Structure 1
Amino acid sequence: MTDYLFVYGTLRTEFPHPLAKRLQAQAKFIGKGSTPGVLYDFGWYPGAKFDADARTHVIGEVFSIKNAERLLAELDHYEGTAEPGNAFRRVPVKVRLDGGGTVDAWSYEMGDSKAHRRPIESGDFIHYRRLKDQRPVRP
């Protein structure tokens, strides 16, 4: 279907996860973008529910992936798409690039059973984590 991947959480370039570093080495960074939906807080990782009619957007990054079949199989394993009871699945989404234009890309969406988590209003997991991890400075 597509050789693009949209990532919004622990696979983003600013996140220090080893698989994020591997993605950067094996794929070409296209740019930042967004797609309609809601992002949810699961603690150290987020989950997205994509909805073309949503008023909010999920913020992330787009990569052009070479050897898509192999890399996507590895990412499917990381996301746990084949594990029983795991509600994450790989789905196609339309992403609006910050620099202009749109691409059809793969991304990982959570199932309905996990939608009871707290929404991340900004839709941006990296920004949310930075704000959440800040501690007040005491005089």
Structure 2
Amino acid sequence: MEKLYNIFTYGTLMQAFHNPYARKLRASSEYLGKGYFNGRLFRVEWYPGALFEPDAPTLVRGEIYQLHSLDILKELDEYEDVLEDEAASLYVRKVVPVRDSQEVVRGGEELVRDCWVYLYNQPVLDLPLIEDGYFKTTS
């Protein structure tokens, strides 16, 4: 059986954005729906940065996609400034458990999917927190 790969986006790769990388992601994957994980979301500049914090009371909200193949990851890594030197990278791609907002499993619990997420990898001390956890084009 072929392994399925999911990616979770919370910023400029979401459906509301129309840059070439967002379009390429949509062409290279199947949209599974909205999801979220515990953490904090910050406005960096015209884009956001998220931290995965399993015990955080706040959420990072976004979209889950199932990739058709891994071919797109190299381009997405470049877009997100993922470097070989992890300390110098703007983002790092990590696997995070993401709760699917629309899929419920038996017992009424939300489905949890392991997803690649581009997590912000620089200091956040002076960055404004996006309190509702949802990055919008107009915010």
Superposition TM-score tier, normalisation by shorter sequence: 0.7 to 0.9
CA shift digits 1:17-40 (9 cap, x unpaired): 111011111100000010110000
Deviations 1:53-83 (A, max 9, x none): 0100000000000212x21111111101117
Q: Within 5 A, what are the aligned runs for 1:98-117?
A: 98-100=101-103, 101-117=111-127
The within-5 A match list for 1:1-139 is 3-68=5-70, 70-82=71-83, 85-100=88-103, 101-126=111-136, 129-130=137-138, 132=139
Fraction of identical pairs, as percent: 35
- Give, in whole Å, the separation in 2 of the partners of 1:14 and 1:67: 23
Q: 1:44 to 1:83 in 2, by over 3 A?
A: farther
Which has the larger strand fraction? Answer: 2
**Unaligned ranges ≥5, structure 2:** 104-110
Secondary structure of the 1:99 match is strand
Partner in structure 1 of residue 106 of structure 2 = none
Q: Is the 8 A contact 2:4 2:67 kept in 1?
A: no
Query: More helix by proportion, 1 or 2?
Result: 1
Asked if 1 retains the 8 angstrom alpha-carbon contact of 2:4 and 2:66, the reply is no
Alignment gaps of 5+ in structure 1: 133-139
Count of residues in correspondence between the two structures: 128
Instruction: Tell me the TM-score normalized by structure 1.
Output: 0.85
- RMSD of equivalent CA atoms: 1.7
Deviation at 1:16, TM superposition (A): 1.8
| Shift >3 Å, 4+ stretches | none
